Amino acid sequence: MEKTLPLNAISGKVYLVGAGPGDPGLLTLKAKSLIGCADVVIYDALVSPPILACINPEAEQINAGKRRGRHSKLQGETNQLLIEKARAHAIVVRLKGGDPFVFGRGGEEMAALVEAGISVEVVPGITSGIAAPAYAGIPVTHRESGSSVTFVTGHEAAGKYRPRVNWRAIAQGSETIVVYMGVHNLPNIVSELQAGGLAPDTPIALIRWGTHPSQEELVATLETVVTKVQEKQFEAPAIAVIGKIVNWYGILPKNQPATPW
Ligand SMILES: C[S@@+](CC[C@H](N)C(=O)[O-])C[C@H]1O[C@@H](n2cnc3c(N)ncnc32)[C@H](O)[C@@H]1O
């Protein structure tokens, strides 16, 4: 059912919705209800097929997906699209993998919408930096082996919108380090963390397609991980977890993967 705007309405509302890491069972009730009744859903590449299947079949569905080197829409174009759709429809959902505000550009999109006078609300999702390790049997904190955790982007590009990550300070300051988008830049990350004082035998786990039926893990040390990643041709999207918390891998049970899709 199309929910057209009342004549006196200036615009509809945009919901920045987190789709979680992939397993449809991790979608929040609020997210599921919104995608089921939206007029327009603009979604990212990492939103999983069973979650896309929950979208209102009457809704206009637009893939704004971005994967490394394959920007199907530039951020400015996506912001503009959200504004245009909100001016024509009552409920516009911007559906993002994980949580919209965790390395998801949700803050940028929200600011652009506010500036354009559009009403906007965030619906947090379960971020992959917590869920992927959890499904592999690695808690991101533990009283015995990890009282602090840092979530950091491993994407190497620093510039106008992002200062360079100070890996050496992170090595000193956090017991557990969770890296998003780190596979491509792994040699540099590993070398900087060791330069910051982490021992070469510090454990690291990479979890690829976490919570998906195809989830894969690779466990190594800072010294061996780059070679192992090359040997196994381990590719993005993956979360890296670094620190002695990784020693729980193989001790705590893994979650059953989601039903194949
Ligand atoms: C642009 S960031 C978006 C993060 C997202 N907003 C979140 O909260 O999970 C994309 C990166 O998130 C990580 N990622 C997202 N989904 C994942 C999954 N199911 N398994 C492993 N890593 C994932 C990967 O590091 C990927 O390169």
Q: How far is it, in rounded angstroms, from Cα 138 to Cα 247?
A: 8
Q: What is the pLDDT of residue 164?
A: 87
Å from CA of 129 to ligand 1 middle: 7
What does the pLDDT profile of the chain (261 residues) look like in tens digits? 556 666 556 689 999 999 999 999 999 999 999 999 999 999 999 999 999 999 999 999 999 975 445 555 788 999 999 999 999 999 999 999 999 999 999 999 999 999 999 999 999 999 999 999 999 999 999 998 889 999 999 986 666 566 689 999 999 999 999 999 999 999 999 999 999 999 999 999 999 999 999 999 999 999 999 999 999 999 999 999 999 999 999 999 999 866 787
174 and 232 fall within a common domain? yes
Residue 96 known to be catalytic:
no
CATH at residue 212: 3.30.950.10
Q: What is the pLDDT of residue 160?
A: 54
Average pLDDT, the chain: 92
Best CA proximity match to 12, nearest among 123, 122, 117, 108? 117
- Locate the ligand 1 atom nearest the alpha carbon of residue 46 and give its number: 16
Å from CA of 131 to ligand 1 middle: 10
Residue 181 known to be catalytic:
yes
Residue 23 known to be catalytic:
no
β-sheet bridge partners, residue 247: none
204 and 184 fall within a common domain? yes
Asked if the structure places residue 216 within a domain, the reply is yes
Residue at which a domain ends, from 108, 126, 144 = 126
43 and 116 fall within a common domain? yes
Provide the residue range defining the domain that includes 109: 13-126
pLDDT digits (tens, 9 = 90+) for 151-194: 999 986 666 566 689 999 999 999 999 999 999 999 999 999 99
Residue 99's region, left for phi above 0, alpha for psi from -120 to 50, else beta, is beta
134 and 236 fall within a common domain? yes
Q: What is the pLDDT of residue 146?
A: 80
Instruction: Please tell me the total number of residues recorded for the chain in this structure.
Output: 261
Å from CA of 152 to ligand 1 middle: 12
Q: Residue 18: enclosing H or E segment and its boundaries?
A: strand 13-18
Asked if the structure places residue 3 within a domain, the reply is no
**How many structural domains compose the chain?**
2
CATH at residue 66: 3.40.1010.10
H helices of the chain, in order, are 29-37, 49-52, 75-88, 106-115, 128-135, 167-173, 186-195, 225-232
Q: How far is it, in rounded angstroms, from Cα 181 to Cα 230?
A: 16
Asked if the structure places residue 49 within a domain, the reply is yes
Residue at which a domain ends, from 97, 126, 155 = 126
Q: How far is it, in rounded angstroms, from Cα 67 to Cα 237?
A: 9
Ligand 1 first shell, C-beta below 6 A: 21-22, 46, 96-99, 102-104, 127-128, 132, 180-181, 207-212, 236-239
162 and 105 fall within a common domain? no
